[in-house]
Amino acid sequence: MKTLLSAGCSRASYLSTASKASLVSCRHISSSSSPPPTFDVSVPKPKSEWKRQQGRQRFLDYLIVNIRAGKGGDGCVAFHREKFKPQGPPSGGNGGRGGSVTIRAVEGVTSLSGIGKRIRGANGPNGQGTWQHGKNSPDTVIEVPVGTVVREITDSRRGKTNEEAEQERLEGLSEEEKVNKRREMRWVHYPQYQDVNVGTEAFQKAEEAMLRAERAAEIEAAAAARRNALPLFLDLDEPSEEGHVVATGGQGGFGNPFFLSSTNRSPKFATRGREGERITLEFELKLLADIGLVGFPNAGKSTLLRALTNSRAEVAPYAFTTLNPQVGTVRVWRDGRFGSGETRAVEDSVEERRRREEELESGEVSRQGSRGFPVPRAPHDEVVRFTIADNPGLLARASENVGLGHSFLRSIERSLALAYVVDFSGAAPWDDLATLRAELEAYKPGLSRKARLVIANKADLLDAETEDQVREARAKLARLEAFVKDEMTPSDCDAEGYRTWEEVKALEVVPVSAKYRQNLEKVVRLLGSYVREAREEQHGRSEREALAPQPAVLYS
């Protein structure tokens, strides 16, 4: 019958030469070929972030997270015991490796709200007697939406490193107390043998070897940091099956059989597991919609989205109805119809809910059919499909983070094309266009060149009962078209993925009434053509990059 005598295996950190490679903290990883952006992104203001969470809207597109990988399990001090063998060999198992933390982009996730501000990897199990090693802990996977940009924070906002945390625990102690505290953080002793072990030659040699390994690992980590000056950067613009490791779990400690030698046949000490890596990351979600709608508050962007798609975006007759981006899908059928094919005017959300409640109470429709979904069509009847993002209303000085500021602007940065939406019933819609373009250029130079269309919404509000009023409306439209042709056409070009001068065309101006679904067929036709052009251009660029000769790498 076996009897186990073992020491309690607690937790701390140690360094070994096998884990040197995991100490590299500066690296650059990207799932796309684009380099890290050079412009600064300010932190959203707390007041605007609080406002965006009202009305049970759990959308979040900016987050700072402190991440710590799992700590390695402690080695165990134990000796084998069985009948007629009162003095068996050392049998303590090694600790398991701590779980790493990885980031993976997945489809179906649309917000960063499910990510906590502090993420901890799973700690490795401790070793046990009879040579039972702790198993490696599973990795902690952070699932983020496609289009998320992850940056490592290296300024004052970052959390403490392992070295800083250890120094904090040693503050206020004398030199002798610091030595004892470090030994307690690195070693596990057999019960009642701590003082005896410290005085033995075998323990002193093992402690010296550990200190040498720690110093060598620190030197190699510093050299690796100098070689890799860039901090961590991830551009997750595509779904990924395998995640990117951002924090490596700590290695498990060694059990007392590791210290068995010809001169020390009964080692009564083991090492504790090493702490996992720590890192502070900044998550920024940039939507990957094909078309981005840009306009002032109450310009009718949400109404336009509902008229073109099956989206249930909130619609109300006041500004700032949309506080978070809403994405809808436009599906164009072979017979020329698009969306749900509904012909009823787009109602305010409050009026729509009241009408549906009355229909339910009267028994006109059942709850299952109250949404009014269209009849499903065969897949081959679909001609084109693209997504549209209804973004929060833009204000003057949004590039300076006024209003929702960068929370809005970063949501349109990844769109293939942009469409300005202006209130045509206003006094001077051309002034609104000038402000919108100026804010886009102030936020990121060249961003306004993605604009391909000007949608003059709310054309139904213009008075057109008499011939004079009709002439005034036509003159207003002509002035808007002239302004777009003279002032909104780019005057130069660049080679950073935007249209070249030969491909630059004057922006189209289309007057519509999103509420009454008038003249939307032309809008859908133009948007579909813009998306096809952008996709073909991206496909051609990818093929050229794949066929381009790779530069030779010289090894010294």
**Would you say residue 38 lies in a domain?**
no
User: Per residue in 398-447, pLDDT tens?
Assistant: 555 555 545 667 777 778 889 999 988 888 889 988 888 888 888 888 88
Last residue of a domain, one of 285, 306, 325: 285
**Would you say residue 214 lies in a domain?**
no
**Tell me, what DSSP letter sits at residue 380?**
G
pLDDT at 34: 41
Which of 68, 181, 80 lies closest to 128 in space, CA to CA?
A: 80
Phi, psi torsion values for 144, nearest 5 degrees: -125, 160
Indicate if 393 and 265 belong to the same structural domain. Answer: no
What DSSP assignment string belongs to 247-262?
A: EPPPPPPPPGGGG--S
pLDDT at 340: 63
User: Per residue in 82-120, pLDDT tens?
Assistant: 888 888 899 999 999 999 999 999 988 878 888 999 999
Say how many domains are in the chain: 2
User: Per residue in 367-387, pLDDT tens?
Assistant: 444 444 454 555 557 788 888
pLDDT at 92: 94
Indicate if 329 and 260 belong to the same structural domain. Answer: no
Domain span holding position 399: 46-59+288-547
pLDDT at 298: 81
Which of 452, 272, 268, 302 lies closest to 388 in space, CA to CA?
A: 302
Indicate if 144 and 273 belong to the same structural domain. Answer: yes
pLDDT at 454: 92
- Judged on CB neighbours under 10 Å (0-12, 13-18, 19+), 503 is exposed
Indicate if 267 and 376 belong to the same structural domain. Answer: no
Indicate if 246 and 390 belong to the same structural domain. Answer: no
Residues of the chain whose pLDDT is less than 70? Answer: 1-59, 228-229, 312-324, 339-353, 356, 359, 363-380, 393-408, 463-464, 489-506, 541-556
**Tell me, what DSSP letter sits at residue 126?**
P
Indicate if 281 and 400 belong to the same structural domain. Answer: no
CB 496 within 8 A of CB 447: no
**Would you say residue 226 lies in a domain?**
no
Rounded to an integer, what distance in angstroms lies between the CA atom of residue 287 and that of residue 253? Answer: 44
pLDDT at 343: 65
